[in-house]
Structures are given as C-alpha cells and as structure tokens.
Chains A and B, each alone.
Chain A
Amino acid sequence: MEPGFRLLVIDLGASSASTQVVPPSYVEHYLGGVGLVVRLLWDYCPPGADPLGPDNPLVFATGAMAGTLVPTSSKHAVAAKSPLTGFVGDSLSGGPWSLAFRRTGYSAIVVQGMAPTPTYVFIDDDTVHFRPATHLWGRGSYETEQLIRKELGDSAVRVSSIGPAGENKVRYACIGNDGTRQAGRTGLGAVMGSKRLKAIAVRGTRAVQVANHDRLVQVSIDLLKRGQGPATEKYRILGTVGNVLSLNRLGALPTNNFQRSTFPGAEAVSGEYLYQRYFRNTSACPACPIACQHNYRVTEGEYQGTRAQLDYESLFALGPLNGIASLPPILRAAQLCDELGLDTISTGVALAWAAECYQRGVLDEVDRGALHPAFGDYEALLRMLPRIATRSGLGDLLAEGVKRASASVGQGSEHWAMHAKGLELPGYEPRTLKTLALGLATGTRGGCHNRSAAYDVDMSGTVDRFRGEVGRGPLAAETEDLAATLDSLILCKFIRRCFDDLYAESARLFSLTTGLNSDAKELRRAGQRVVNLKKAFNIREGWTHQDDTLPPRLFSDPLPDGVGQGVSLGREELELMIADYYQARGWTAQGLIPEKKLRELGMGDIAAQLREVHDGHRRHNL
C-alpha cells in the first residue's frame, strides 16, 4: 500500500529542502497531477503574488499511477501563477523524467524563493543537492541535459530544464524534459528562470508501491492491448499533424493570424506529406503503447540536418498561422523553439501578430540584425526566434506575449492580438467551432484547447458548429470536467477512446493503485472540483466576468472564404453561451462560485478562504 504522497518542499533562497506528506484528502479530492499542483499552488502562493517574484511557487506533481504499468501514466503536471495571464498557470509533460521523479519516492515538489545565483537541483532518491549552474546559463535545454548527465556521471539521470527563454523571463517560456518534451503553456519556464533555477535533475531507483499489484497488472495489460488497436491508430501512424488538412477543409485552420481559416499552402504542410517525406520513427513515453511522438528529419537542402518532433499545434503556429508553406523551415523552427525553451503556440501567435502589425504599417521600425516578421517569410521567422529568447530588439516586445505587446503598441493592434486572458490561442478557428469559442473564453488558463476540448462537441454531429446557442454550456462543462479528470489522474488524453466506460474504468485503475475507494461518480466530482479550484484561484487573483472573452477580431471580422465564409462570432451569441455555462456549473450570473457550491463539492476550506474575496466583490458592486 502506498504510504501517501510525499512532497518535497525546496527553498532556493536558503538552499534547503524538507519532506512532507501530502494530506490524504488532497489525493482523494484532487487525485494528483493538475488537481494536486493547483491545490498546492493555492496553499503556497500568497494572494496577489508577483508571478515573476520569489513568492510565486513552482509546483510539480505526477499522477498516482506514474511509475506503474498503467498505460500512458508517465506524466507530470507543473503549476504556478502564470506570468502571461496572472491567473492559474498549469501545464503537462511526460516522458522518462516523470517516471524517474516518481521513483525517487516523491510525488510532488514545491519550489519556493529565488536562488542568489544560477542553480540546479539534483534529487537523488531521498537526497537533495543544490549545485551551481552558472556554466549552464545561456545553454539550450538539450545541451543542458547532456552536460548535467555528464557532470553527474550517470546517463540514467533525467533532467527537466529551461533554455535561454526561461532565463530571460520570456512570458511564454516552457520547461523542457527528455530532449523534446515540454510543459509548454502559460510561461512556467519564465517562473523557473525568475528563481534562477536552471534545471531539476532526478535519479529515482525505488519501485512504486501500489495497493493491488496483481489486479492492476491484469487491468493494465488489457488496456495496453486496447491501446494498440484501431482507436489509437491515427496517433501512432500520422499523429496529430493529420489535423491540418481536415481543419483546412472544415474552414477551421487559423491562417495569417486568424485573418482567414483556410490555407492555400495546406497540402504542402500537411501531416500526410510530412509523413511521406520527412518521417523517421516514433517514440513514446514510458508505459505507452501508442507512441504518438513522431520524429522527423530533413536530409537535404538549406535545412539539412534538422531533427525535430512536431505536433499539430506547433505545425499550425509556425506554419499556416504565419503563412509559411514549407516544411523544412517549420521543422527547423520547432527544433529551435525546443532548444531555446519557447512555447511554439505563443511564439507563433506573437510572430503572426507582429507580421500583421507590419502589414498594416503599425510597426515600421526594422529590428537591426533581423528581418521583420512577414506572412510567408520563413527566414524572418527563424531569425526572430533567438531574438525573442534573448529579448533583443523587437524580440523584447514579443517576449511579453501579444496581450502586453499590443497594449504597449496600441494603434488598434489589440484587434488582432489573438489571446484569451493573455494566453495565445491554439490552432482551431473559434468562428466555425462555436462550442470551442465558449471553452476558450471561459477556460481558467486562457486560450487553451487542452483543458476544454470543446471542439469534440462541435464535431460530434449533435450541434450546429456555426451557431452558438443555449445548451452548449453543459456540453462544454462536460468536456472540461473530463479533461480535468484525465489531467489529474494523469492519463494521456490519447487513450481516452480505448475505454468502454472511461470514468468507471479509470476509477478502478485509481483504486487499485491507491487503495482509495473510487467510482465513476466520485471521479466525475473530482474533475468538477479541479475546475472549481482553478476558477477559485482566478477569482482570488482578481478575475471578473470581463475576463471571459475573446479577441475583437473574432467578433467583427467575418471569415473571407471556405465553408465558414461570412461567419463571425456575435458578442451576444458568446454571452448567451457563457451564461448557460455558468448556470451549468452552478455559478452566479457573474461567474462567481457560490459558497454552497464549493461546500457541495467538499471544498469547504476553499469556500472559507474565498468568502472574503466574494465579500470584496459585493462591496465593490454596491
């Protein structure tokens, strides 16, 4: 039986570490992963903390099943207050680091304070070492991993680190691990950089204890077999890059900074062509039968030697969104983003915003040493990437993210700053996917498809995706709850279609691992708790109803072509869906969480702490 989740609390200012036990109620209520990191964030982040100051904790946690045979469970979540949004920032990654970390005997880390000089932390099972990282500062993530392994003399050491972007507090810097994996979104790499923490290296040698080993092995093997079947074939063979042509045909592929939703060069950057021309092999997170990670290599021409992994989001952002119709420079850009520690989605959206600024004559100063971004100009895009990571010239403005950059430039550029709550939008056109529009507007981490996945509703055949209407609220809430559950267990979303009854079967896996009684109903409630907790954090940090919105372009610019020609998003249409969503969640018309709702979910402690904030809102509104 697992002796509870162990938490490592690190104080970088004092170079000290202490071990605590995660309260069992946290695991019962929030499962692990995203639920646990956000719960710990709630505890350790003082209200109003500066996201890039020493008070903002950086929290890591695996799920309960990490390190076991359960397929797709070798993942970890990271959270902090986001320097992009000022609200909850959470992101997932996976790979050998997650497994090695769990095998240290810990399940979560809270990193507090700020190191006086660049530092890396080495967690060697129970022992924590603080080591100088001045010699690593300025180096890319991949090189940092290699150097740390060499320094520690053990190729089995796994490293999670930041690149130059994180060091320079680029607000959308990511945290990379195992070469090509990233906790990509919401700028958690900038938080790590603000702490002068270059890396967390781990060596874990302990077996993970589970409550019912034999039964868990049986159930896992069954799921493993299903994971090798047709339900995951598209991830195994083509990967998510297969979305390019489908979305293009559906008028849902954001192109030229969301000026349109079809891309004339789509075939040239399609997943199908990528597969036929540049595919080398696939790799997988530990204990995963799917192996969705596709490795590509460019073997000739200007970008010969480029090796990169590419998923749909990176491809859309560095390709069609910037009008780029050639795969080799897109692969090169993805490789560079990984090395520099840049979130590809936010980077692509920032560059597309700048390209439109130049197109409209809003920005005219040319950055010395770099071509200015322009749609279709891949050389300029590639030259801008290191400048963003090092905050040089125009790169310094773009490193702030499009919300801040457009507020600083003004001249109407907010109109085409494509973000929600400060987080740059992912690769799905909200004007032709109206339930997704709702999910993006109300999402607690901002413009994110992974915590909402409301496009599933739009493509289900049960709704008119071109029209927002009452009824979408409960549907969007349901996809969000499901994502929160999977992200907290943690199970990869790509295995979700392998279950006959996802909630019941994953509750079983959770029970067999932890020994806690769980069932489908309880797991659903856990997902709801996680969503409510994230919302409560945002309310605590000053969220108001006005934050649940989308960029002006989507309301006023009808799409010029494709099956969505002439379609835009009505403000009233969105408001109608938002009201429906709040109602489905049991929130007030203003989107606040009634105390009763939190108590119903067993979150009385959160309710008590939120009460003061609610009172503040009421006083303010009198």
Chain B
Amino acid sequence: MTHVTVELFGMSRLLAGQTEVELDLAGGSSLRDALAALAQEHAALVGPVLAPNGGGLHPCYALSLNGRSFAPDLDATLGPGDRVLILSTPAGG
C-alpha cells in the first residue's frame, strides 16, 4: 500500500468541498492512478478539473509533486507520503 495525500487548491477545493484527500493506493501506483482514484471519490472534479478517462488535468490546472516540480510524468511511480498538489495556474490581475 502507498499512502499519498492530494492537496486541493482553488476551484478544485470548492468543488470537492475539502482541502485534502487521503488515498491508499496499491504499491507501485502512478500519478495517473492517484488521479483516477480521486475522480472516483470526487466525481464533481471530473470535467472542470480532471480530464475524463484518466487523461490528467484540464489545461487550466497544474499538477505538482510535493510543491517542487510541475506537470510531472503521469506515469511516474508515487512513493509513500508523497503529496500531490492540484493548483489553478496563476494569473495576474
């Protein structure tokens, strides 16, 4: 089992109604698996934030692993304790 946390920001937080989602995934699971599990738990995210059929994120959102790297390979394997961030891409104003 790999325990990961998905942190939700902006619209994804409003749609899911919570700030974080804890996921227990099978060992060797990928980011793509984490997003699929998230979609199952929070169907409201599918469409506006999560692309249907495991296609990653809507282009207006960004995915970060542990707050350091962006748009990491969706097939990258997650490690225990990893934190997956779903962020709106910033925009000035």
Which residues of A does B touch, CB under 8 Å? 230-231, 233-235, 237-240, 242-243, 245-247, 249-251, 271-272, 275, 292, 311-313, 426, 428, 449-450, 453, 455-456, 458-462, 464-466, 493-494, 497, 563
Contact = CB atoms under 8 A, between A and B. Distances in A.
B93 A461 contact: no
A312 B62 contact: no
B64 A250 contact: yes
A563 B83 CA distance: 13
A249 B87 contact: yes
26 contacts: A230-B47, A231-B59, A231-B60, A233-B48, A234-B10, A237-B14, A240-B93, A242-B10, A242-B11, A246-B10, A246-B87, A246-B88, A247-B90, A272-B9, A272-B13, A275-B14, A312-B91, A312-B92, A313-B93, A461-B72, A462-B71, A464-B69, A494-B91, A497-B59, A497-B60, A563-B68
Q: Kindly name the residue among B58, B68, B72, B92 whose own CB sees the greatest number of chain A CB atoms within 10 A.
A: B92
A426 B90 CA distance: 13
Interface residues on B, range: 20 to 34
A233 B15 CA distance: 12
Given A230-B48, A461-B72, A449 B58 contact: no
Contacts of A272: 9-10, 13-14
Contacts of B68: 466, 563
Say what secondary structure dominates the interface of chain A: helix
Interface string B43-59: 00001100000000011
Contacts of A455: 90
A289 to B, nearest CB: 15
Interface of B: 7, 9-11, 13-14, 47-48, 58-60, 62, 64, 66-72, 85, 87-93
A311 B92 CA distance: 8
A465 B67 CA distance: 11
The 9 closest A-B pairs by CB, nearest first: A461-B71, A240-B93, A461-B70, A242-B10, A311-B93, A563-B67, A246-B87, A449-B92, A234-B88
A277 to B, nearest CB: 13
B13 A240 contact: no
Contact of B60 (A233, A247, A275): A233
A459 B9 contact: no
Nearest to B47: A230
Given A230-B47, A231-B60, A237 B85 contact: no
